[in-house]
Chains A and B, each alone.
Chain A
Amino acid sequence: MSSLIEIEHMNKFYGQFQALSDINMTVEQGEVVVILGPSGSGKSTLIRCINLLEAYQEGEIRVADQRVENGPNLASIRCEVGMVFQNFNLYPHLTVLANVALAPVRVRGMSRRSANDRARALLEKVGMAAHADKYPSQLSGGQQQRVAIARTMAMEPRVILFDEPTSALDPEMVGEVLDVMQNLARSGVTMIVVTHEMGFARKVADRVIFMESGRIIEQNKPQEFFTAPQEPRTQAFLQAILHH
Chain B
Amino acid sequence: MRSFDYAAPVSLAEALALLAAHPTARVLAGGTDLLVQLKSGRRETPLVVDLKKIPELKAITFDAAEGLTIGATVPCCQLTAHADLRRVYPSLAEVAGLIGGTAVQGRASLGGNLCNAAPSADSVPLMIALSAQARVAGPQGLRTVAVEDFCVAPGKSILGPGEFLVSIFFPLPAPGFHAHYLRFIPRNEMDIAVVGVGVSTTVQDGKIAAARIALASVAPTPLFVKAAGDSLVGQAPTSEAIAGAATLAQAAAKPISDMRAPADYRRHLCDVLTRRALTATLGAQ
Are A and B part of the same complex? Answer: no
Listed in ascending order, the chain A residues whose CB lies under 8 Å from chain B are none
Listed in ascending order, the chain B residues whose CB lies under 8 Å from chain A are none
